[in-house]
Structure 1
Amino acid sequence: MLKLKKMNRIMLKVFALFLLTSSIGQAQEFNLNNQESSLKVLGTSNVHDWELEAENLRGKISFKNLNECIIEACNIEVTVEGLKSGKSSMDKNTFKALKSEKHKTISFKLVEVKTVENKDAGKFSVQSVGDLTIAGVKKRVDLNFILNHTEGKVNLTGEKKIKMTDFNVDPPKAMFGAITTGDEVLIKFSTQLK
C-alpha cells in the first residue's frame, strides 16, 4: 500500500512536470527592439506633406501559442517628444498639439483579436481591436496587421488612418495660422520584437 502511494505521487509529479514544460514551450513573450523598429506619422498641410518618425518605442507581445498565432497581450508605447520631423519648429508645434507636457506617451493596448489568417510559414494576417491613447484621450480602434515570426523574432507591420480631432488634438498650425495641417494622418509601423 505504501509503495502504491509513493508510485502515485511520483506519477503525479511527472504529469505536473509534463504539463508545465508543455505550456512553457508554447507560451512566449517578446520585447520590442527599438533599433530595428520604425513608426512614422504621415500628414498633409496646405503647403506640403510632412512626416514624423518615432525615435523611442517600447512594447511587448505575448502568445498563448506562437505557432498558431494565439496572442495573449500586446502593448506598444511611443514617446511623444521622440517624434521628430527634422525641423525643430514643427516638432515644437507637434509636442504642443499632443500636450506632451502632461501626456508623455502615445499607447496602443490590444483588447481582442478578431481573426487570424495563416498566410504561410510563420506569416499571419491579424484583425484586432485595441485601445489607442493620444493626448490623454483613449479610443477603441480596429487595427489590422501582418505578423511574421522566425526563430526568436516577431515582426508586426501595418498602417492605420486616424483623425487628430477624434483625440481632441487640434491639427498644428504655423506662421500665425498661414500653414495648416490636415486632420487625417496615416500611421505606418514595422516593429521588431525579440
Structure 2
Amino acid sequence: MIIKKVLFLISILTTIAFTTRDSIIKSTSVIITPQSSLKVKGTTNVSDFSCVFNINKFKNPIQVFYHVENGKIVFNKTALVLENDCFDCGGRAINNDFQKILKSDKYPQITLFLKEINQTENMRDVQASINIEIAGVTQDYKIPVKVKKSNDLFISGDLVIRLSDYNLETPKKLFGLISINDIIKIDFQLLIREK
C-alpha cells in the first residue's frame, strides 16, 4: 500500500516537472534609457501634429515577469504606464486639447500591458501582443516589432489606433472648421537596459 502511494506521488511530481519545465515564472527589472523616444502622431484636416512623451518621466525600474510557453514569451503583470501630462504636443493650446481628448481629468494615465511575444530564431522581427488602456477602455493589438540586441535591447515599431475605439471625441475648432482625424499613430523606439 505504501509503495503504491509513493509510486503515485512520484508519477504526479514527474508530470508536474515536465509540464511546468518551460513555464517557470522569471523576473527581472529594466530601465528605459533617455535615448528612447515615444510619440503620438496625428493629423487634422489642416495639418499634422506630434505629441512627444518625456522619457525621463518613466517610473524606472520597471518590473518584468515572464515565462516561456509553447515557443512564446508570456508576460505576467508587466505594464508600461504613461502619465498623460508628460506628453508635449508643441504648445499650450494643443496640449490642453490633447488632455481633453484623453479625458485626463478622470483618466490621467495610458497603460500598455505586454502580453506575449512570439519568438523567432533571430529575435529581430517578432510579433508582440499588447493591451492598451486609454480612458478606461482596453483594446488588444498584435504588432510587428523590431528587436536589436547588443549590450542593451533596442525595440522599435509603430501602432495605428482609432480614437473612436476608446470612445474618445476630438474637439472641434473655429466653428468646426478644424477637426482631428480618428486615426492616430504611436511610434516607439525604446532602448532598454536590464538593471
TM-score normalised to structure 1 length: 0.73
Q: How many matched pairs?
A: 163
Alignment match, 2:58: 57
Question: 1: distance between equivalents of 2:128 and 2:40?
Answer: 20
- TM superposition shift of 1:33: 2.3
Kept in 2: contact 1:163–1:184 (CA 8 A): yes
Per the alignment, in what secondary structure is the counterpart of residue 117 of structure 1? coil
1:85-113 alpha-carbon deviations (Å, 9 max, x no partner): 11110010110110111111111112233
Alignment match, 1:46: 45
Does residue 94 (structure 1) correspond to residue 80 (structure 2)? The answer is: no
- Gapped runs of 5+ residues in structure 2? 1-25
Does residue 139 (structure 1) correspond to residue 139 (structure 2)? The answer is: yes
Per the alignment, in what secondary structure is the counterpart of residue 120 of structure 2? strand
Kept in 2: contact 1:34–1:57 (CA 8 A): no
- TM superposition shift of 1:75: 1.9
Per the alignment, in what secondary structure is the counterpart of residue 107 of structure 1? strand
Q: Give, as a single letter, the amino acid of the residue that structure 1 aligns with 2:58.
A: L
- TM superposition shift of 1:178: 2.2
More strand by share: 1
TM-score normalised to structure 2 length: 0.73
Q: Bigger shift: 69-78 or 133-142?
A: 69-78
Kept in 2: contact 1:61–1:71 (CA 8 A): no
Question: 2: distance between equivalents of 1:57 and 1:171?
Answer: 27
Q: Give, as a single letter, the amino acid of the residue that structure 2 aligns with 1:132.
A: I
Alpha carbons of 1:116 and 1:172: their partners in 2 closer, same or farther (altered >3 Å)?
farther
- Gapped runs of 5+ residues in structure 1? 1-26
Q: Give, as a single letter, the amino acid of the residue that structure 2 aligns with 1:96.
A: K
Alignment match, 1:163: 162
What's the % identity of the aligned pairs?
Answer: 24
- TM superposition shift of 1:63: 5.2
Question: 2: distance between equivalents of 1:38 and 1:57?
Answer: 11
The two structures, once aligned, show a CA RMSD in angstroms of: 2.6
Alpha carbons of 1:47 and 1:79: their partners in 2 closer, same or farther (altered >3 Å)?
same
